[in-house]
Amino acid sequence: MPPARPLTLVTGASAGIGAAFARDLAARGHDLILTARRADRLESLADELRTRHGSTVTVLPADLADPQAVKALCEAIAQRGLAVDWLINNAGYGVPGTFEANDWATHEAFIRVLMTAPAELAWRLLPGMRQRGYGRIINVASLAGHVPGSAGHTLYAASKAYLIKFSQSLALENRHVGVHVSALCPGFTWSEFHDVTGTRELMNKLPRFMWQTAEAVVREGYDAVERGEIVHVTGGVNRFIKALTKLLPDRLALWLSARESKRYRALEAN
C-alpha cells in the first residue's frame, strides 16, 4: 500500500515538465523534494506548493553534471530522515550542433545528466522502495528515442533510447515487489526547453497539433506508471508517428528523418 503522503523526488524541477510534475503530484497529496541548478526557481515553486496544497517541500539544489552530485543529493536526503517513494528522472536539455562542433566536456556533462544520473539515482533509491514494497520511477524519455536519429543534437535521441531500454529492464526486475517503472515519451512539449537550446524559431514552424502542454504530458505519465505501463508515448499524434516509423523500412525512415530534421535541428553550435 502507498503511504498516506508519498514523498517524490523530482529532478529538473525548476521549469517545464519537472515543474508540472511537482504541481500535479502536490495536488494529489504528495510531499516533494525538488532539485535543479536554479535554487531561486526551486524556492519559488516550493513556496507555491506549500501555500496552495500544504505540501512539505524540501529544496536541494544540485548540478547533476557533477560526478559527485547524485551521491551528495542522496546523502542529504538520508540525513533528513526522508524516504523517497517516487522518483521522477526528468532533468535534461539539448546540445545544438553536430557532434564534432562541441567539445568533449560538453558531451560528457550531457551524458552525466541524461544517462548516468538517472541510473545512479535509481540504483541508490531503489533498495528502499523494494524494502518498503512500494515505489514508482518515471524516466522522462522522448518520442526521439523511438525514431531514427537525426543530424544535429547527436546524443539526444541516443540518450532517450537508453532511458527506454533501461526502464524496460528495471520494470521487469522490480514489478513483483510493488515498484513500477515507466519510460515517459513525449513529443514536442510547450516549455522553455527550445529557448535554452536556441531552436525556438525553428520550433515555431511546426504545426500546433504536434504540440502538447507539460500538464497533459504529466497526467498521461502519472496514469501510465500507476497502471504499470512500462513505456508510454504521449498523445495520439506521437503514437501514430512511432507506429509509422516501426512499419517503414529503415532506409526510408532514415531518409525521412534526415529531411524532416532540417526543420527543427540546429546544425550550428551556439
Which positions are annotated as active-site residues?
156
Q: Are 74 and 246 in contact (CB under 8 A)?
A: no
User: 10 Å Cβ neighbour count for 146?
Assistant: 23
Q: Are 28 and 5 in contact (CB under 8 A)?
A: no
Helices 39-53 & 16-27 angle (0-180, nearest 10): 20
Q: Are 50 and 28 in contact (CB under 8 A)?
A: no
Residue with cell 524496460: 168
* Cα-based distances in Å from 154 to 10, 144, 158, 164, 166: 26, 11, 8, 17, 19
Separation CA 22–CA 38 (nearest Å): 15
Rounding to the nearest 10 degrees, give the CA dihedral for residues 30, 217, 183, 19: -50
Q: Is 90 helix (H, G, I), strand (E, B) or coil?
A: coil
Q: Are 141 and 184 in contact (CB under 8 A)?
A: yes
